[in-house]
Amino acid sequence: MLNKSYLKEVFQSSMLKDVMQPNIMFVQCHLLSGEVFILYCVTIISKNYSNIIETLNFKRATHYNGPYTVLQSVRQFQQPIQAQKAGLDGKQVGKETLPPPFTVSILSDGPRSQRSLSSLRSLSDCGNNMASSFSRILSSKRNVGILSLVGAGSLTVGLLLNREQHVSAGAPVRRVYPASAEYPDLRKHNNCMASHLTPAVYAKLCDKATPNGYTLDQAIQTGVDNPGHPFIKTVGMVAGDEESYEVFADIFDPVIVERHNGYDPRTMKHPTDLDASKIRSGQFDEKYVLSSRVRTGRSIRGLSLPPACTRAERREVERVVVNALGGLQGDLSGKYYSLTDMSEKDQQQLIDDHFLFDKPVSPLLTCAGMARDWPDARGIWHNNEKTFLVWINEEDHTRVISMEKGGNMKRVFERFCRGLQEVERLIQEKGWEFMWNENLGYILTCPSNLGTGLRAGVHINLPRLSKDARFAKILDNLRLQKRGTGGVDTAAVGSTFDISNLDRLGQSEVHLVQTLIDGVNFLIECEKRLEKGQDIKIPAPISQFK
């Protein structure tokens, strides 16, 4: 746990360097020791400077091994200010005095369950907004504790430690009617959200919002508008940003537990393993398996997810990802194709060949706000062989895909791991990182994709087994999922199905791909036995967590 004396000692041992130039103030963060960084931002609030322009622009900085500049805050004044160094003992900053004593207020530290921060009541509105912005932009695999030091001026400090992240809550939602009058009618609904959203939970959460302004009603709207699904029980809610999973944890957590077979996001840790050399028996009989594919999603930290992103944020995702992908080399080298520059004919051909995502016409997506401004800032990047692809700004910021014709799943997964790790390295070189935490793994829009975000699948022809009454139970026990040939909202073409892993969270990528391989081999063996007129058996259920 953090304590005030330790933080004061760290702060006093550091140096505040602020450089005042005419009309501009730059604030820099300096490396102290190890993984501890302090970020300073001075806000001068006084009658002498009442004409401060309220816009505060943040620039994300790049992570280097040397001095670590987390961000610069640029604030414009109507007149030049000459600044001096400011300390804790009341020194001059221009004409302003920052008198002691400063009050240190630790807004959040400790376990994940206590991460949500209330609004800063001790700061001015400007300081409050800065603190919220700090926690949004700086949240990472490290702890983020926001401290406020309050005097005649406001000094907002961001302290970054290791392993955890903290979330700042946004302004409360203003309501005219009580929560009971706003509670949605879910009596005929069959989705995970509807199963857990009680009137009491709704009343507790309906007035909350994330720092981005995303609300509970926005999160659940897709589940309210879509009562059920013909093939699978859908989740019924989406996240608008990384903080959604914390601010609305009272509904997201039980949905996660149900969707992920009992995974507890408060106590369990998610593993990651991208070592493709561990895969066994990854070559399928191509009489049955027509194609193999592995995909995942990744989200850029600090930017809203597709249900809530602005046009500018969506374009920023495109810019960041495309710039990073330009660094891929060898068999991964390729080109980006923007949908706004692509003809309808070319788009449809890529869709028909299963390379490109279709326009989001599914009500599950449109009701979640993911079709807005279509096709602005959407596109596809692929290598020359079209075996490694990245979708940009579909359901998630990115979808990373490795695929090829035939049954060599081991080769597909090897390319997937190598390409994904290279993409992450290039993203980090540009000063960005993926959303991740140790409990939920990689953060994505739909709770069903949390963890690995991985779906390893094959198109497989099973004319006899697919007609057997035991087929569904066999898939369930093998932790496999059946979809139509064209995806979740399509029917099978003949007896060809898209079979993939059912689980995402709580098991590593290697484990899930191996589960898919073992399961598909079992399905092929069943099909062969039925061809010979032999009986088949339902396998014992596979436990998800060991």
Residues listed for the chain:
546
- Is 293 annotated as a binding-site member? yes
Q: Name the packing angle between helices 509-531 and 409-429 (round to 10°).
A: 160
- Is 382 annotated as a binding-site member? no
- Is 511 annotated as a binding-site member? no
- Is 485 annotated as a binding-site member? yes
Please tell me whether residue 192 adopts helix, strand or coil conformation.
helix
CA distance 124 to 240: 27
CA distance 59 to 62: 10
CA distance 104 to 157: 10
Residues in Cβ contact with 363 at an 8 Å cutoff, skipping those fewer than 6 apart: 222, 225, 226
- Is 330 annotated as a binding-site member? no
- Is 259 annotated as a binding-site member? no
- Is 390 annotated as a binding-site member? no
The residue type of 63 is H
- Is 398 annotated as a binding-site member? no
Q: Give the Å distances, CA to CA, from 211 to 179, 240, 391.
A: 21, 11, 27
- Is 484 annotated as a binding-site member? yes
- Is 455 annotated as a binding-site member? yes
Q: Give the Å distances, CA to CA, from 385 to 69, 336, 404.
A: 39, 14, 9
Task: Tell me whether residue 204 is exposed, middle or buried, using C-beta atoms within 10 angstroms of its C-beta: 0 to 12, 13 to 18, 19 or more.
Answer: middle
Characterize the bridge pairing of strands 334-338 and 379-383.
antiparallel
Q: Is the sign of the CA dihedral 480, 482, 488, 493 positive or negative?
A: positive
CA distance 330 to 542: 39
CA distance 451 to 506: 7
- Is 124 annotated as a binding-site member? no
- Is 399 annotated as a binding-site member? yes
- Is 240 annotated as a binding-site member? no
- Is 458 annotated as a binding-site member? yes
Nearest to 449 by CA among 280, 259, 320: 259
Annotated binding residues, written as ranges, equal 291-295, 354, 399, 455-459, 483-488
Annotated binding residues for ATP, written as ranges, equal 291-295, 354, 399, 455-459, 483-488
